[in-house]
Amino acid sequence: MKALSQKRRHPLAAIALLLMGLLVTGGLYAVATTVNQAKADTTTFSASDAQEGGKLFAANCATCHGMGASGTKDGPSLVGVGAAAVDFQVGTGRMPMQMNGPQAQEKPRQFNDQQTQQLAAYVASLGAGPSIPDASLLDENGDAAKGGELFRVNCAMCHNAAAAGGALTRGKFAPALAGVSGQHIYEAMATGPQNMPVFNDANISPEGKRDIITFLKKIETNGSPGGNDLGGLGPVSEGLFVWVAGLGVIIAFTIWLTSRTS
Amino acid sequence: MSASSTAEVPFVPKTKVGRITDFVDERVGGSGILREFGRKVFPDHWSFMFGEVALYSFVILLMSGTFLTFFFDPSMAETHYTGSYTPLTNVEMSVAYNSSLNISFDIRGGLFFRQVHHWAALLFVASLGVHMLRVFFTGAFRKPREMNWVVGGVLLILAMAEGFTGYSLPDDLLSGNGLRIIDGVIKSIPVIGTYISFFLFGGEFPGTAIIGRLYVLHILLVPAMILLMIVIHLFMVVVHKHTQYPGPGRNDGNVVGYPLGPVYAAKAGGFFFIVFGVVALMAAMFTINPIWNYGPYDPSPVSAGTQPDWYIGFVDGALRLMPGVVNDFHFEYIIFGHVLTLNVLLPALVPAGIIFTVLFMYPWIERWITKDNREHHVLDRPRNAPTRTAIGVAGFTWYCVMWAAAGSDLIATHFHVALNDVTYWLRTLFFIGPIIAFMVTKRVALALQRKDREIALHGRETGRIVRLPHGEFIEVHAPLDDYKHYKLVGFESPSPLPAEPNEHGVVTPKEKRRAALSKWFFEDRVAPATPAELEAAHGHGHHEAIESGEEHKSLSH
């Protein structure tokens, strides 16, 4: 102990400490990431899927993502993003991207299910990453109340407590979640598309993700018990409604009431 | 009390109902009161009915609110939800939120009454605001009604307080976020802010006391104060009598209209049910404040799109517009260990402070500038007081910019523009919007006055072109009837009042400032057509001679 305290002012002490810190952080990170990817790539793709996917990729994606998906200055490398990322981005029509902008916009999808699967197989073959979730996680039979709590703590600050969506900085936004399939919700959480952070399995367990999907689907099918929800946007649409419709109807009545005199 | 005492023969009621009525009348003098009030004359105009809408909304609020108190429990004790809304089953929450959910889902008619209460609250403040705008733009705040204008302003503040305390009661995530913002604003007040916050919340936010305290304010103190103010307000309306729009036979010494009884009493009674019906329809068909969507309050989650109800929106908007840092200039200082956060303190208190100060003082400001100490019972048409109208529109524009800023995120997502750009534009408008609005409004008002003057002098353009025997083409102008004519010429158009010496023969600097303001107020004016001009115009039937009538920046009329 004494020897250690005497050497603490040694010129190399800071470097040694830095090295130790880096080693510990890196080691922990390596352990953590392997924990997260323990379940990756359980879906099986055939070799021909990957081969066909490679052709599709070269024709449709390589302009930006580069040959072999190694990335260019226009698009990131896709090595290790996993099949889930491809299924989400291509399956919702966000990729191939319509135009450059703050974030990729949803549009009618360009590839059918089989082509999407082939592309996913190709990208998955390049490096391990999150896979397409198992159907058992998407059955919407989880605990909606628990999913609601997870949603409010992790998602509501961008997507709104009622999943109506919200604005982010400089033209970016978090979309409304009504009408999004459970599989795409799961993949979005697992891969963090656009400006969304990654909620890996250490952060929200697969069961937690299942609960969140259950919650979202429940409030979607529940409808609005109080009548028309006015877009589910809260006090702004309520205020607009009372000023335009409420007060408008009342003004019409006041004009009617006073129209026979004066 | 002695309504029938003048009659020689004492009145003997013949029927049973008559005997009961006479018994009551002899003891309380009801018929005298009824005769006095029943003959009270009120002028008829749709814009005079917004105060009534506010009053009826308040009655609806009292009734629906009483129903809600039967079932609401303002406790912040922890419980687990067991009601019928399954997405919240077994979630930990406060008893207050639990009882609000039970009102919504497990009490018959509960959700309907909650929605009636909330829609009526939004309508209450909205109709109050429109009523104040009507009073301002028609100059109804002038002598003798200055004090009633102030009472109205107090009512607006009380209504906002009542609304905010009610908004916070369900203890859902949305209202909790709103309360957190208020807590932040209170804490930004230098030195005493933290103490006030701890006093209010009974310790650190959110504590376990605030809902109960807000509940007492919401159902006891604030409504009692609103009721008191309404009584004073209506008492003064009776004392002052109602104002009226200008028209033939109407002057500052009379009120032209219909007596309260029986037509107005019936109309007003019916109008109450119309307002109630509109509120009930909205409550039955449109969701308001779906608290089950937001979940129980927990200080950690903050939902996107968190906004207050519309009447607090302008304060929220001002907070959103305030930059945290401008280049390297910070708005946060530490002075003797106290944090001074101007970027919260300034936007939260200064715009609201300016709006309410000017609002309360305006009748006196205008009275000082114009030296007009007469009683006014005939209203101004807004165009005939261009500078006042322009000031009003400028203030309203300023308010609307802040109001819009409270929905900046929704503007960004729904119009597909960047949130930052919305903020930059609104920041710009915050400063130049009122100036543009002032100039445009004043020009529009003057243009409308010129149009009125033109029509008064030449009549209405019929669009019929006639060729005279010597070849000249003229358009036939149809003269106005006397009633319409009166409206176009029967108004005052004061000219600037130069500085006058006081009793010592001295023109004080204050008087000079007043004169300068008077010049600013009245220098751009379009004088109403004088009888001589009208005579000349109608005598000739031509357009010549008349153009000189419009005096720009002149003192001649």
Left if phi > 0, otherwise alpha if psi is -120 to 50, otherwise beta: which for B339?
Answer: beta
Average the pLDDT over B161-165 and give the result. 95
Whether the CB of B53 is below 8 Å from some CB of chain A: the reply is: yes
The predicted structure's pLDDT at residue B502: 87
Question: What ipTM is given for this predicted complex?
Answer: 0.88
Write the pLDDT tens digit of every residue in B298-351. 988 888 888 999 999 999 999 999 998 888 888 888 888 888 889 999 999 999
Among the ranges given (A157-161, B194-198, B481-485), the one the predictor scored with the smallest mean pLDDT:
B481-485
Would you place residue B548 in the very low, low, confident or very high pLDDT band (cuts 50, 70, 90)? very low
Task: Using CB atoms, pick whichever of B45, B91, B274 lies closest to residue A253.
Answer: B274
Would you place residue B542 in the very low, low, confident or very high pLDDT band (cuts 50, 70, 90)? very low
Put simply, the chain A residues between 219 and 248 with a CB less than 8 A from any chain B CB are 219, 222, 224-230, 232-243, 245-247
Put simply, the chain A residues between 86 and 115 with a CB less than 8 A from any chain B CB are 102
Contact B87 A251 (CB under 8 A): no
More confident residue, A68 or A33: A68
CB B96 within 8 A of CB B211: yes
| pLDDT tops 90 at residue B450 | yes
The predicted structure's pLDDT at residue B539: 64
Q: Which of B128, B279, B282 would you mutate first to test chain A, the one with the most A CBs within 10 A?
A: B282
Among the ranges given (A94-103, B162-171, B283-292, B537-546), the one the predictor scored with the smallest mean pLDDT:
B537-546
Average the pLDDT over B205-216 and give the result. 94
Please give the share of chain B, as a percent, with pLDDT higher than 90.
66
Q: Which of A106, A152, A256 would you mutate first to test chain B, the one with the most B CBs within 10 A?
A: A152
Would you place residue A39 in the very low, low, confident or very high pLDDT band (cuts 50, 70, 90)? very low
Write the pLDDT tens digit of every residue in B477-500. 888 888 888 888 888 888 899 898
Residue with tokens 């751009």: B524
Would you place residue B549 in the very low, low, confident or very high pLDDT band (cuts 50, 70, 90)? very low
Q: Which of B123, B84, B122 is nearest to B106 (CA)?
A: B84
Put simply, the chain B residues between 143 and 202 with a CB less than 8 A from any chain A CB are 173-174
| pLDDT tops 90 at residue A46 | no
The predicted structure's pLDDT at residue A1: 59
Residue B348 Cα, gap to closest chain A Cα (Å): 19
Would you place residue B149 in the very low, low, confident or very high pLDDT band (cuts 50, 70, 90)? very high
Task: Using CB atoms, pick whichever of B258, B303, B417 lies closest to residue A161.
Answer: B303
Left if phi > 0, otherwise alpha if psi is -120 to 50, otherwise beta: which for A105?
Answer: beta
Number of H helices, E strands in chain A: 12, 2
Write the pLDDT tens digit of every residue in B42-70. 888 999 999 999 999 999 999 999 999 99
**Rounded Cα distance, A140 and B433, in Å:** 51
| pLDDT tops 90 at residue A41 | no
CB B96 within 8 A of CB B73: yes
CB A130 within 8 A of CB A120: no
| pLDDT tops 70 at residue B529 | yes
The predicted structure's pLDDT at residue B396: 97
Write the pLDDT tens digit of every residue in B262-306. 888 888 899 999 999 999 999 999 999 999 999 999 988 888 888
The predicted structure's pLDDT at residue B487: 85
Mean pLDDT score across all residues of chain B: 90
Task: Using CB atoms, pick whichever of B104, B130, B258 lies closest to residue A247.
Answer: B130
Whether the CB of B486 is below 8 Å from some CB of chain A: the reply is: no
Please give the share of chain B, as a percent, with pLDDT higher than 70.
95
| pLDDT tops 50 at residue A262 | no
Would you place residue A261 in the very low, low, confident or very high pLDDT band (cuts 50, 70, 90)? low
CB A193 within 8 A of CB A85: yes
Q: Is the peptide bond before B262 cis (omega within 30 degrees of 0)?
A: yes
